[in-house]
Structure formats: structure tokens, C-alpha cells
Structure 1
């Protein structure tokens, strides 16, 4: 998140380097998230606090990465980058909230998309990778802005879809 935010304040190769390292960090975070869950489940090392450590860091990471990308998008002369990043972050947290609301009501977790966490992080990683090369065509942050717009719209669709699924389940339950 810090690398993404800092990328908005630098140009040239330092910006590209920050974005490439940020993209790598996003993917490493996903790998670590996958591995810790597999170890806990496969080796019976889960704890009563497992659900907290499974969800809370993901929500913090969503906010830091997406809001950070918004500040990184400010180089485009588009002052709305931070607002777009925060919008994407809030929607990402809302997708998890709707999923957990359904679980709290006794339904299985709904991981439907189109932009659940893995897809959001894939779009953000791709945006970082492409944005790192923007100086080649004199770009100034448009790629991160576009990536955040795709994430915001896709995540809004995800929230609406999950909410509709939850409403359907509640109606079927009677």
C-alpha cells in the first residue's frame, strides 16, 4: 500500500520500480494467505482465533492496497484518484461484510464475483504491472485510475449480486 501511494509522488524508473515491487507484494500476500489457511486446515493447527486472523488482515490489506493505488493514480492530473481508491476499498470491505452477514444468518459463505478478492487483486496486479511502463508512452497514472475504476464497478456488481443471493436464500427459508 505504501509503495502504491508513494508511486504517485515520483516519476520515471522509481515509479516503475515501486509499482513492480507493489505488484509482487500483492501476489506474495495472496500466497501467504493461501498457505496459512492450508496449513491450519490440513495440519489441524487452527485456533479459536482463526476466523479473526483469516478475515481481519484481508480487510486491512484491501483498504491499504486500494486506497494506496488511488494516491498512486494522482500523477495523471486526475485529482479524483484518492476518492476512486477509497471507493474501491469501501466496496471491497462491503463484499466481505455481505458474505459474513449471510454466514451470520446461517448460510454458507458466498464467494461469488465477478470481482471477489482474488479477481480484485489480479486486476490491481495487472494495473501495477502495466502502469510501471507508462513512461514509454508518456502516461501519467491513467492505468491505475482505469484499474481502480474496473475494480470499483466490478466490486459494486459483486455486492449487488451477493446481496441478491442472500435475499433469495432468506426468501426460500421463509
Structure 2
């Protein structure tokens, strides 16, 4: 089970606004690039100035970024903006944005850079495994249990904790290895799904 399953309901809420944005001339690739730039800017700010209060930006932006991702997908599919370049931008921007938003947590005890780098690496593998399904003609795979939306919820919650309490409880150290296990499981599930569909 993954939060991704709720995506269709979220898209239904956004559809009227997406229609208006398309009429204004906004493109899917512009939305993708803006979302990536904001993610990198927030991540950079938190690395340079890791003040607890600033981590409140993470849950707010994680939610907004999910909306941006839904909007760019709907513009592409439902308003004739699907393109090869858009496919590349979408996948690359997501991986870069995730890394930018996760790494600053290495500066918050009890988290550490080696664990965060492992999470970034495995998160990248999950997206790579998902894309390979499309490359082989079986469709993009979004299986969980730790897809992009699930990771957004996790790091959004962690950002809210840091902002609210100034640090993270000692027990949250265990989230790092648990996240790695769930990410590895996600890679396996996506590979299995791709092979089954093939």
C-alpha cells in the first residue's frame, strides 16, 4: 500500500485549476522546472542555515510539490503537452529534488550523513526501477511501500518535528535503517512488477 494510490482523488481536486493554467499558456515543463528549483533552493537554505524553525518549510513544500507534480502530469497527459524532454525532466528533477530536501536532515541529530546518503541512493534506485518498466514497454511502476509520496510524508513529518521541538527525539535514529529497508523492498517490488507485466 502506498500514498500514491490517493493520487487520482488529488488530481480530481486540481483538474479545474489545471484547465485554467493550460488556457493561460503554462506548460508542464515549466511547472517541473519551477518545482525543482524551489526544492533545491529550500535544501540549499537548510544546509547553509540549519535553523530548526526553517525546517517548517519542508512539510509545507512537500505538500505543494505533490501538487506541482500532479499539475505537470495532468498538463502533459490531458492538455497535449507530453514530450520526450518532459519525460527526462520529470524523472531527473524528482531525483534531484528529493536529494536536495533529504540531505539537510543529516545536520539534525540523531540523523547522520552516511545514513542520509544511503536513503538518497536507495530512493534514486526506486525511481530507476520504476522507470525501467516504461523503458521495457510495461508502463511506469509506482509500487510501494516507500514511493515518492510516502517519502514526502515521512520527511514532511520529520521537518515538522524539527520545527516544533528544535531537534528530533533519540528514537528517530531508527527511522534511517527502517527507511532503507522499506526502500530496498520498494525496489524489489517494482522490479517484480515490471517482470510480471513483461
Is TM (by shorter chain) over 0.5? yes
Give how far 1:128 is off.
1.1
Change (3 A) 1:87 1:146: same
Pairs within 5 Å for 1:33-52: 33-52=69-88
Can you give the 5+ residue segments of structure 2 that lack an aligned partner in the other structure? 1-42
Runs of 4+ in 1 over 6 A off after TM superposition: none
Corresponding residue SS for 2:151:
helix
Q: Distance in 2 between matches of 1:152 and 1:89?
A: 9
Corresponding residue SS for 1:49:
helix
| Equivalent residue pairs, number | 156
Corresponding residue SS for 1:110:
coil
Q: 1:72 aligns with which of 107, 111, 117?
A: 107
Q: Distance in 1 between matches of 2:157 and 2:171?
A: 9
Q: Deviations over 1:114-152 (max 9, x none)?
A: 0110011111101111222234xxx55647644444432
CA RMSD of aligned residues (A): 2.4
Can you give the 5+ residue segments of structure 1 that lack an aligned partner in the other structure? 9-13
C-alpha contact 1:127 1:143 (8 A) present in aligned 2: no
> Which residue matches 2:89?
53
Corresponding residue SS for 1:45:
coil
> Which residue matches 1:29?
65
Q: Distance in 1 between matches of 2:189 and 2:128?
A: 13
